Amino acid sequence: MKEITQDQSDRPGLAQSRGIYREQASSGALAGDVKCFWTHRLHEPARVAVVPDGCVDIIWIYGGLAVVGPDKVAAFPELVAGETVVGARFRMGSAVSWLHTPLDAITGKTVPLDAFWGRAARALEAQIAEATDAAARIAVLRAALQGRLPMVKPQSAEIAACVALLENDRLSSVEPIRVLVQETGTSERTLRRRCREHFGYGAKTLDRILRLQRFLVACRTSPQSTLATLALEAGYADQAHLSREAKVLTSLSPGDIQRQLAYMMQGSRNFRQPTNPER
């Protein structure tokens, strides 16, 4: 589990660097489809940027359950200070089997969960509303997902292969779809359709989003590196390429992102430092 705190500012900030964000990896039977469970609480109003990551979330917010579809660019939700948002994040390509809806129908959208699960979603909302705190709400959400697991079809072989190739950065072409066609043995037309259904957009867009995510990881693991080095490590042609992509996908410059993540990591380390116990 990780916990992050940061002071607020007037400029847009990465969502996970604002307020208190806690994330816990999924486990057991759900781990194959659910990446993590998380909570996010803002103590004061702040402009936040939720950076695209190729995933879909079920969230509890404003007293209701909703599905947050995959984003092509950063979203800027209005979060109420003092409210704790609770969520479950699906792994790439997994959500379509849980929602029984092509993800390109909800790209960039937030849709009430009952649009997908009907009465079951409304019953789950009532259960979560009765929970006493965020931990209890996550427990209710986890149990509900476990209960629905037998109804979920496993990911198709070609989509699983696409996810593996994209996540492992094994695409060297400017047209990722052609590499995926060769690797999966699926026709280009079929694969393009399946990518839209399972990811919400095409393989090229997802490749751009995952390259950005690799940059975020590189910022965390190598906070002292130059932006030019981080750009090459993430798979960009050069720093200028990184700058263009970061601005389009997040509205932030690479320098802003690097500084915010450095602050976030420093705050996390400080939080974990033990105080001197009284003897």
Provide CB contacts within 8 A for 248, sequence distance 6+: 73
| Alpha-carbon span 160 to 170, nearest angstrom | 14
Closest CA to 141 of 86, 223, 75, 211: 86
Closest CA to 103 of 138, 154, 67, 148: 67
pLDDT tens for each residue of 137-179: 999 999 999 999 999 999 888 888 888 888 877 565 556 777 8
Lowest mean per-residue pLDDT among 52-56, 137-141, 191-195, 275-279: 275-279
CA distance 5 to 60: 21
- Tokens representing residue 110 in the block: 């937030």
Are the CB atoms for 139 and 76 separated by under 8 Å?
no
pLDDT 10s digits, 93-122: 999 999 999 999 999 999 999 999 999 999
Orientation angle between helical segments 119-130 and 134-148, nearest 10 degrees: 150
Residues in the chain: 279
Q: Which two three-digit tokens encode residue 227?
A: 């932006």
**Single-letter residue type at 214:** R
Q: What is the rounded CA–CA span in Å between residue 279 and residue 273?
A: 18
What is the pTM (predicted TM-score) of this model? Answer: 0.87
* 8 A C-beta contact, residue 18 and residue 46: yes
User: What six digits make up the tokens of 175?
Assistant: 């047209």
Task: Domains for the chain: give ranges and CATH numbers.
Answer: 2-151 (no CATH), 157-269 (1.10.10.60)
